[in-house]
Structure 1
Amino acid sequence: MSYAQYLRQLLRPLGVYDVESRYLGGELESEGLALDGVEGVLDELQREANLATAQDWGLERIASLLRRRPPAATTKAMREALAALLRISGDSFTLEAINDTIAGCGVIARVEETKEPGTVEVYFPDIPGIPPAFDEIDKIISDIIPAHLLIRYRFWFITWEQLERNLPTWVDIAEKAPTWEELQTYVEPGTQE
């Protein structure tokens, strides 16, 4: 229902106004159109002001408050990443909270404590080799992990056993024609260890 119709319904029971007359009807239409426009602006403002529903400029404004933009490809992933970063507070420096924040930012990494004091180890369980865009991932992780901790990265590569299982013959390897870097990280989907 438009606001012009709403105004007519509001005034009709009073019995004083002829809401269908040319003069008053025109006035109600113009006021209704203005209120319809305000409603559209308020709907957009309400949507974009809430992180859970923001789709466009609301996400951009929240992201602009942060030092780095989270690596998110979709609107949903961006909402989750921003929510994870905004959850960081003075008590967010437990290992669980750090891993939650990193995962929430869309980085597929895990942080573990080491036996060496003041050192944590970061590894990428589902990504063989060095992840793509590692420089950006390193910056994001460095921003999340407390500054007094030394960060060591652990990367894994395919073993000969896994390679023989995935590509049992030289013909199989020749058909794929991988580079050495591709061969080091060649893992069939679902066969990560």
Structure 2
Amino acid sequence: MYEAHLRSLLSPLGIYDLEEHSASGAAVCALGTGLDTVSRRLEEIEREALTATAEGEGLARREALFARRPAAVTAEDRRAAIAALLQIDGDSLTPAAIDRTIRGCGIRARALEMGGGQLRVIFPEVAGEPEDFDQIRKIILDILPCHLEVEFYFRYLTWAECEAAGYTWGQVEAAEYTWESFQLAVPPER
């Protein structure tokens, strides 16, 4: 890229032999290669310097600033989690702000104020305990103010839902449910 640019700049002067096998041509080739390398590195540094465009080193360095790594896997989700964590300040203690921060960290949860300094964290898209709950719990407890009492609420199939669906033990056995898989057979929310 830069080699062609240098050749186009120097060619009109007519004082350099710009053939590939000449000393001047080789020097232009070497300079162009060096400038291409520097240009690629600068593009990478610029990309990693901004949370919105970082893909690797920039995300890892930002995540190292926090007590726990966000529960996000893809670069896009990691960027969103970092942005959410960076928004936490003294004014972030409303249930809506806490809820946004938790979801921004890649955790599919909602925070509900229960009154009296209590907060319930629910996982509406997951039946039972979410995968990697230990990590998620630590992240949530790091995010939430220490004066709040936090209750984690997990969703399981209830007897009322079984009755409303008209389940019989015969249907449950025919579907080859185990007790563990049956209690996670929560009907989708409407």
The TM-score range, normalised by the shorter chain, is 0.7 to 0.9
Q: Give the secondary-structure state (helix, strand or coil) at the position aligned to 2:152.
A: strand
Do structure 1's residue 10 and structure 2's residue 13 form an aligned pair? no
1:139 corresponds to: 138
Contact 1:81 1:104 in 2 (8 A): yes
Q: Distance in 1 between matches of 2:58 and 2:164?
A: 49
Q: Say whether the 8 Å CA contact 2:7–2:28 is kept in structure 1.
A: yes
**1:43: which partner in 2?**
43
* CA-to-aligned-CA distance 1:78-126 (integer Å, 9 cap, x gap): 121121112222322222211111001111221122232x222222222
Provide the TM-score with structure 2 as the length reference: 0.86
Is this contact kept in 2: 1:122–1:151, CA < 8 A?
A: yes
Kept after mapping to 1: 8 A contact 2:156/2:186: no
SS at match of 1:126: strand
Question: Does 2:160 match 1:148?
Answer: no
Change in 2 beyond 3 A, CA 1:180/1:167: farther
Aligned residues: 189
Relative distance call for 1:28 and 1:166 in structure 2 (3 A) is farther
Partner of 2:62: 62
Matches within 5 A, 1:122-137: 122-137=121-136
**Amino acid in structure 1 at the alignment position of 2:189:** Q
How much does 1:12 deviate? 2.6
CA distance in 1, matches of 2:90, 2:27: 56
The code of the aligned residue for 1:172 comes to Q
State the percentage of identical aligned residues.
Answer: 43
* Amino acid paired to 1:56: G
Decide whether aligned partners of structure 1 residues 175 and 42 sit closer, same or farther in structure 2, where only a CA change above 3 A counts: farther
Q: TM-score, normalised by structure 1?
A: 0.85
- Equivalents in 2 of 1:164, 1:73: separation in Å? 39
Cα distance in 2 for partners of 1:100, 1:72 equals 15
Specify the SS of the correspondent of 1:127: strand
**Aligned residue type for 2:26:** G
Match of 1:108 in 2: 108
Larger strand proportion of the pair:
2
Q: Name the counterpart of 2:28.
A: 28
Task: Give the drift of 1:187.
Answer: 2.1
Deviations 1:124-180 (A, max 9, x none): 222233323222221111111111111122333212343356673434322433332
Is 1:81 aligned to residue 81 of structure 2? yes
Q: CA RMSD in A?
A: 2.2
Q: For the residues of structure 1 that align with 2:125 and 2:101, how far apart are their CA atoms?
A: 18
Please say if residues 51 and 79 of structure 1, whose CA atoms lie closer than 8 Å, have aligned partners that are also in contact. Answer: yes
Which runs of no fewer than 5 residues in structure 2 stay unpaired? Answer: none
Is this contact kept in 2: 1:158–1:184, CA < 8 A?
A: yes
5+ residue gaps, structure 1, are none
Contact 2:7 2:18 in 1 (8 A): yes
The change in CA–CA distance for 1:165 and 1:12 in structure 2 (over 3 A counts) is farther
Matched residue type, 1:148:
H
- Check whether the contact 1:167–1:173 (CA below 8 A) recurs between aligned residues: no
Q: Given that residues 166 and 187 in structure 1 are in contact (C-alpha distance below 8 angstroms), is that contact kept between their aligned partners in structure 2?
A: no
Higher mean C-alpha displacement, 164-173 vs 104-113? 164-173
